């Protein structure tokens, strides 16, 4: 139908105001639990950005940023403690 979707890397610190706004949306809070102060949120994102097995991404539709997601290597994540993952998970 011509709709274009995209993923782009989080631009730190440029995207922090947007991420702070999103993380305080009522429907986002239960999932992410990142409804923190700006300083606490910056600490969280700085830690995530320093971790080389995470990719922090903004989701977009038709040129409009609409959401946030993370892609990570499951085996190297804390989740890796709970399953026998493949090296490329």
- For residue 67, which of 14, 10, 13 has the smallest C-alpha distance? 10
53-70 pLDDT, tens digit per residue, is 889 999 999 999 999 999
Tell me the CATH class for 5-81: alpha beta
Instruction: Kindly state the percentage of the chain with pLDDT values over 70.
Output: 99
**Structure confidence at residue 47 (pLDDT):** 93
For the chain, what are the domain ranges?
5-81
**58-67: b or e for each residue (b if 16 or more CB lie within 10 Å)?**
beeeeeeeee
Helix ranges restricted to H, the chain? 16-23, 29-32, 38-50
Mean pLDDT of 42-57: 93
Name residue 64's beta-bridge partners.
61
Mean pLDDT of 24-35: 97
Mean pLDDT of 66-85: 82
């Amino acid at each position: 139908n011509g709709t274009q979707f995209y993923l782009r890397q989080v631009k730190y610190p440029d995207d922090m105001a947007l991420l702070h706004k999103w993380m305080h949306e009522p429907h986002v809070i239960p999932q992410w639990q990142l409804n923190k102060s700006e300083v606490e949120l910056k600490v969280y994102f700085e830690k995530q950005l320093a971790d080389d097995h995470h990719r922090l991404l903004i989701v977009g539709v038709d040129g409009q940023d609409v959401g946030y997601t993370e892609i990570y290597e499951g085996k190297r994540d804390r989740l890796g403690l709970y399953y026998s993952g493949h090296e490329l998970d």
